[in-house]
């Protein structure tokens, strides 16, 4: 947590002070909730799909992409990741949830290496 100033100690004692880590956690939770609410799921014709709690939809919301409270595609789009970085995230988040964990991590590494190579101009 670090060293607190006298002012910070008084605020902490009063319960109105968040440490840096607490603040970051709070902001991350708020951001995740905002993304969850802001990114609805639509079919190609614009119809709202929505995901039923506890129901696995292997086409629109496969379970290996929905763990952790946010779908991987929603995170990738919210962060505006390109193809290589998006696939890196995709394979990392599904590692251990499908057939071959090592293969998923190798695919993630391959896409990440390709992105680094592109950025270096090679």
Name the most confidently modeled range: 11-20, 35-44, 52-61, 72-81. 72-81
* Residue 117: how many other CB atoms lie within 10 Å: 11
Domain range annotation of the chain: 57-120
What would the pLDDT profile of 49-76 be if each residue is shown by its tens digit? 554 444 556 666 666 566 667 788 888 9
Question: In this structure, which long-range contacts are made by residues 36-43, counting pairs with CB atoms below 8 Å and at least 24 apart in sequence?
Answer: 36/69, 36/70, 36/74, 38/78, 39/71, 39/74, 39/77, 39/78, 41/71
Q: What is the pLDDT of residue 54?
A: 44
């Amino acid at each position: 947590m670090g060293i607190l100033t006298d002012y910070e100690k008084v605020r902490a004692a009063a319960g109105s002070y968040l440490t840096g880590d607490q603040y970051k956690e709070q902001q991350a939770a708020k951001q995740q909730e905002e993304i969850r609410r802001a990114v609805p799921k639509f079919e190609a014709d614009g119809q709202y799909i929505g995901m039923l709690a506890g129901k696995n939809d292997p086409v629109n919301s496969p379970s290996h992409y929905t763990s952790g409270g946010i779908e991987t595609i929603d995170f990738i789009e919210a962060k505006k990741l390109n193809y290589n970085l998006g696939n890196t995230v995709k394979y990392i988040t599904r590692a251990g949830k499908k057939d071959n964990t090592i293969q998923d991590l190798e695919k993630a590494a391959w896409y990440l290496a390709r992105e680094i190579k592109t950025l270096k101009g090679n």
